Chains A and B, each alone.
Chain A
């Protein structure tokens, strides 16, 4: 339940500066909040509303449209198992069933230790590597019950800490605003908006 940290506010301002209109930074800022807390906290949405001159209801309205944003704590590792057509054809439901048994939760649930959440998700663009899953949006291809168990073991033992950051962190590299930034497009739009 927290507002964005000072460091993240600085990042947020940099992101806002890359768009001609503030509201365009809304989804990126929601990602920042999710990166901070693992989910999008209510206070964070209020904070984002302040940063973007919006009503919190507008922030929540946009945020709740998008499946990746969680509004309650989820597992440290979100395991998204694709069950869409290409994966269904080669055993995705068996994999999901196995995952549910292995972790003792149903799709959409979180293990009691707060480590794992599993979800049955739509196509993740790994169709030729089916059945596929993502753990915190990192891919695992041609997953078998055995390789799923190995994945769980590795995550539990911390073996994958470097490769799989906690839920909420997407890219580990950010675009940086360099001295080469021209700002022409942003300025042109500002002129149109002022008219």
Chain B
């Protein structure tokens, strides 16, 4: 199977032993773009390159970063750049690598972005559980400050910016940008309603704020160095550049890959020897999650679809945060569905009633089924409760909640129950999974209450 190829843009230093140090970074071409930007480009020119690159945000929503930057109201200061390094979507594993292995690349991207945005303060918010990333970033920031790449009069220009490194303390919801802002303000990480609080207008401290994902900003040095046109020429016109995908689950070689965006297919990722090299034990795909736990599931008929945002959107799911989870024919779909619902129930912030009460309700019904106490009416009940969280149970989801967390818990139910209804019915009737399917539980689930 031949797969499309492209340059390694943001993973280029993953194999460089000292790529995370200032010396290693500079030796491999680092901080050239920053110097170029502050010495020979106007902020608008930098912004224009990012716009021309048409890079879609890599955090989950896929909104074009250059367009987002343009939402800052003119002349309102202070304004902030907040970097979302709170990677927590199940299946997602790439921002952590970028922070651990190439922290200077991220810092360079941040400083260039601040230059383009005319922001003088950035907050780099790392997930609390990522001690190694925090360490690497602290080290890199201290070096960058010492070498005049951050701070006062960067590279001798009159541009100054500070980056405050901080981290969370364990809350998935803080990955949502308004919850992240709340957390940065020292609050409980509960999302704000948009409108009125569009961060670009009223964000951190009610000032204009751009929230960008780590991977998005890590691409900025390349875009500024090579030009937005160069970046746009990679991948598909509708999904530009290279993009990182983490492929986990029932594949032979799970891994994180930087692949040409929009042209690589799911099958290539699962089967090509340079990627995952096939389904484990020579098995076959029963279902897969194309873009994180919040996404609607895909099935074998979607395997030849390209990892292209509009294509996947149209098919009723999303690429989200680049998290692909493969489930082979032995997968217990009731257990898989329950596990993802349990995640959302545990991570609900508790603000909106439908999410706070509904996700837990769904989780308890599913767990009851797994425990052998399912009732025939429970399947309809799952949909009824889902309907109260996400009216219509459609894609893109409508929601009775502020943020998409609650509706995200509906995705696995809508996906699994619709496709594998017989597995749920079997659990209800026989108190065990269908034949040929492996329960993931070593003992009865109740022991893990």
Q: Evaluate whether A88 and B120 lie within 8 angstroms (CB atoms) in the complex, with A27-B168, A67-B169, A185-B80 already known.
A: no
Closest CB-CB distance, A149 to chain B, in whole Å?
16
Cβ B145 vs Cβ A178 within 8 A: yes
B residues in contact with A107, CB < 8 Å? 448
- B296-324 CB contacts (< 8 Å) to partner A: 323
Cβ B249 vs Cβ A89 within 8 A: yes
Cβ A130 vs Cβ B171 within 8 A: no
Cβ A30 vs Cβ B142 within 8 A: no
Cβ A130 vs Cβ B448 within 8 A: no
- B136-170 CB contacts (< 8 Å) to partner A: 138-139, 141-142, 145-146, 148, 150-152, 160-162, 164-170
Q: Evaluate whether A86 and B90 lie within 8 angstroms (CB atoms) in the complex, with A127-B246, A130-B248 already known.
A: yes
Q: Evaluate whether A84 and B78 lie within 8 angstroms (CB atoms) in the complex, with A68-B129, A128-B248 already known.
A: no
At the interface with chain A, which of B181-189, B234-242, B425-433? B181-189
Cβ A24 vs Cβ B145 within 8 A: no
| Closest A residue by C-beta to B96 | A125
A86 to B139, CA, bound (A): 31
Cβ B138 vs Cβ A122 within 8 A: no
Cβ A188 vs Cβ B129 within 8 A: no
Closest CB-CB distance, A79 to chain B, in whole Å?
13
Cβ A120 vs Cβ B169 within 8 A: no
A172 to B135, CA, bound (A): 6
Instruction: Count chain B CB atoms within 10 A of each CB in A18, A85, A178, A186 and give the residue with the most.
Output: A85
* A66 in complex: contacting residue of B92, B119, B146, B169, CB < 8 Å: B169
A139 to B93, CA, bound (A): 13
At the interface with chain A, which of B67-75, B335-343, B358-366? B335-343
At the interface with chain B, which of A2-10, A90-98, A153-161? A90-98
Report the interface size for chain B: residues with CB under 8 A from the other chain.
83
Closest CB-CB distance, A148 to chain B, in whole Å?
13
Cβ A28 vs Cβ B166 within 8 A: yes
- A154-195 CB contacts (< 8 Å) to partner B: 170-176, 178, 180-186, 188-189, 192-193
A162 to B123, CA, bound (A): 30
B172 contacts the other chain (CB 8 A): yes
B442 contacts the other chain (CB 8 A): yes
B residues in contact with A19, CB < 8 Å? 164
A21 contacts the other chain (CB 8 A): yes
Closest CB-CB distance, B54 to chain A, in whole Å?
27
A71 contacts the other chain (CB 8 A): no
B127 contacts the other chain (CB 8 A): yes
A residues in contact with B271, CB < 8 Å? none
Cβ A94 vs Cβ B152 within 8 A: no
At the interface with chain A, which of B2-10, B32-40, B250-258, B384-392? B250-258
B327 contacts the other chain (CB 8 A): yes
Cβ A96 vs Cβ B164 within 8 A: no
A89 to B87, CA, bound (A): 20
Cβ B145 vs Cβ A188 within 8 A: no
B residues in contact with A170, CB < 8 Å? 128, 131, 134-135, 167
Closest CB-CB distance, A103 to chain B, in whole Å?
14
Binding site for A on B (CB under 8 A): 77-78, 80, 87-93, 95-96, 119-121, 127-132, 134-135, 138-139, 141-142, 145-146, 148, 150-152, 160-162, 164-172, 183-190, 205, 207, 246-250, 254-256, 289, 293, 323, 325, 327, 331, 335-336, 339-340, 343, 346-347, 349, 440-443, 447-448
Q: List 15 A-B contacts (CB under 8 A).
A: A27-B168, A66-B170, A84-B340, A85-B293, A86-B248, A106-B447, A122-B88, A122-B346, A128-B247, A128-B248, A170-B134, A180-B148, A184-B121, A184-B160, A185-B162
Not counting A18-B164, A170-B135, a sample of 6 additional A-B residue pairs whose C-beta atoms are within 8 angstroms of each other reads A24-B166, A68-B128, A88-B335, A171-B134, A178-B145, A184-B120
